[in-house]
Chain A
Amino acid sequence: MGQAVSINDNILLLTDDGPRLKGAVCNDCGTHVFPAASGCSKCTGSSMSEAVLGTEGALWAWTVQGFPPKAPPYLGETDPAKFQPYGVGYVTLEGELKVEARLTEADSKVLKSGMAMRLTTVPIAQDEDGNDIHTFAFEPV
């Protein structure tokens, strides 16, 4: 096992207290955005500050990715013989936004809107130095 590294430090921080998502908040109206942006999609203002998003929420909408995505850009397994379907959904982070993420659960009989979820990470590939590239995901609580 290599060392765990973030897929992109601009959006995912791996801290001692666990993973954190990095977005931005509008200084004028308080709207959160992810990923960070230079303008607010609600009030059209352009004064934004960095914001670390919440880590728990409720599943709002979901699907299961049933076939390997194209690579590039996909970094994970694309061999149809080895590919494992994975869940994708939007999780409501109360008072902030709904964030789209991979889900650790991929069973359509288990996934249900409203279920409580918590931020985690999943390894998706190795980089050229042998580190494990982690991306963010939500797991049922």
Chain B
Amino acid sequence: MTDVAIVGIGMHEFGRHEGVSGMEQGAIAVRRACSDAGVAWNDIEFAYGGSYAAGSPDTMVSMLGLTGLQFINVANGCATGGSALSSAYNAIKSGAYELGMAIGFDKHPRGAFSPSGPAGEGRDWYGGSGMALTTQFFGMKINHYMETHGITNRSLAKVAAKAFRNGSKNPMAWRRKPLSEDEILQAQMLSYPLTQYMFCNPGEGGVALVMCKADVAHKYSKNPIFLRASVVRSRRFGSFEVTAPSLAIEHNGGPTIDASKAAFELAGVGPADIDVAQLQDTESGAEVMHMAENGFCEHGEQEAMLANGDTEIDGRLPVNTDGGCLANGEPIGASGLRQVYENVLQLRGDAGERQVPNDPKVAYTHVYGAPGISGVTILTR
């Protein structure tokens, strides 16, 4: 089994881009990643690509060049990017290929993701009744968590304020205007206890990563970053997930706990070794809960950690240094890859104004998506 390195990264700015298709944004990201790695599209042996709403990723070869490479499409809801990366990781790790890419892009219509319910006979009772909204799940999950573990609304606002503050230092981010905690708390209540500014929005953007066998990494990059783990897990019986008309009485912690444990085991490191983390923040409560689900604290400790500024760029465990989903929006195909892109910048020391101090060496990403999928990566220099 061979190790895997990331030797090139490319991104198309996240946000809204009139007149630029999602796939063009993906192609721009691919060209930037190839240029970063000093390779040509011709050199790429395989690609895994993900997009939810911007076309079939493999058709982007007509923009990039018809080289005959193996190009496989991946779709896993909001965890699509993480799944593309995991597939590419395993393709190299197996020894089948030396050089390939994970690609993600998207372009969603404005507004919340369209609800969809379970298929069945007769009238759509689930969506028809006004359930089946992803925003409701996020509201219920964090509300239950707050009642159980003593997290306050103020902490939710702190997470969102940090996201926009970090986003203001990221030229690739969509929302770059800092907002105060009070502005966030006083915004329209969308799904109690979450206000408008505590939710991310579907958006646009693209990310591509060039990956290779670790033992040839220095051929492509003077500062390769090593992918020590890339794991995807689906839900088990008893977990609490998005758009579920019913849940089991018994409770399971969910796929994030499983993916996180497996990734730490694979990488041979623990939560205390992580210098910077990008955690799924579909809304600000998700970041709070995912801090504990990924093993970085006990349930309830987040309240004190946020008050101490532990997750700020200069804190003990910087979280979502690029502004996360809240400041970048969520183009589903690209979102998980954005997190890895940010960690590569941080580990290279190239994150500019938002660079984590003290020379970070180990970085962590976590992406979560419907209907209960989590993807985790661990990167080292």
Binding site for B on A (CB under 8 A): 7-12, 23, 31-35, 41-42, 60-67, 69-70, 72-76, 86, 88-90, 92, 94-102, 108, 112-113, 124, 133, 135-136
Partner of B127, one of A32, A72, A86, A113: A72
B121 within 8 A of partner (CB): yes
Asked whether B248 lies within 8 Å of A42 as measured between CB atoms, the reply is: yes
Q: Which residues of A contact B112 (CB under 8 A)?
A: 70
Partner of A33, one of B125, B192, B240, B246: B246
User: Are A7 and B128 also in contact (CB < 8 A) when A61-B140, A70-B111, A90-B140 are?
Assistant: yes
Q: How large is the interface on B (under 10, 10 to 19, 20 to 34, 35 or more residues)?
A: 35 or more
Asked whether B249 lies within 8 Å of A96 as measured between CB atoms, the reply is: yes
B35 within 8 A of partner (CB): no
Asked whether A60 lies within 8 Å of B144 as measured between CB atoms, the reply is: yes
Asked whether B143 lies within 8 Å of A62 as measured between CB atoms, the reply is: yes
Q: Which residues of B contact A66 (CB under 8 A)?
A: 188-192
User: Are A35 and B129 also in contact (CB < 8 A) when A63-B191, A70-B115 are?
Assistant: no
Partner of B192, one of A11, A108, A112, A135: A108
Partner of B120, one of A35, A67, A92: A35
Give 6 closest A-B pairs by Cβ, nearest first.
Answer: A73-B127, A63-B139, A61-B144, A8-B125, A135-B129, A34-B246
Q: Which residues of A contact B188 (CB under 8 A)?
A: 66-67
A-B contact pairs, 20 of them (CB 8 A): A7-B123, A10-B125, A11-B125, A31-B248, A32-B246, A33-B246, A41-B248, A64-B139, A64-B189, A66-B188, A67-B188, A69-B130, A72-B128, A74-B115, A74-B130, A75-B128, A100-B246, A102-B131, A112-B147, A124-B130
Inter-chain CA distance A60–B246, complex, in Å, is 12
Least Cβ–Cβ distance between B356 and chain A, in angstroms? 34
Q: Which residues of A contact B192 (CB under 8 A)?
A: 63-64, 66, 108
- Could you tell me the dominant secondary structure of chain B's interface residues? loop
B132 within 8 A of partner (CB): yes
- Residues of B120-164 contacting chain A, CB below 8 A: 120-133, 136, 139-141, 143-144, 147
Inter-chain CA distance A8–B121, complex, in Å, is 8
Q: Which residues of A contact B125 (CB under 8 A)?
A: 7-8, 10-12, 135
Least Cβ–Cβ distance between B118 and chain A, in angstroms? 6
Least Cβ–Cβ distance between B195 and chain A, in angstroms? 9
Least Cβ–Cβ distance between B120 and chain A, in angstroms? 6
Asked whether B140 lies within 8 Å of A69 as measured between CB atoms, the reply is: no
Asked whether B123 lies within 8 Å of A102 as measured between CB atoms, the reply is: no
Asked whether B144 lies within 8 Å of A65 as measured between CB atoms, the reply is: no
Inter-chain CA distance A86–B190, complex, in Å, is 11
Least Cβ–Cβ distance between B187 and chain A, in angstroms? 11
B247 within 8 A of partner (CB): yes
Inter-chain CA distance A98–B249, complex, in Å, is 6
Chain B residue nearest in CB terms to A136: B129
Q: Which residues of A contact B115 (CB under 8 A)?
A: 69-70, 73-74
Inter-chain CA distance A60–B245, complex, in Å, is 14
Partner of A10, one of B117, B120, B127, B248: B120
Asked whether A10 lies within 8 Å of B237 as measured between CB atoms, the reply is: no
User: Are A73 and B124 also in contact (CB < 8 A) when A60-B144, A65-B136 are?
Assistant: yes
Inter-chain CA distance A8–B119, complex, in Å, is 13
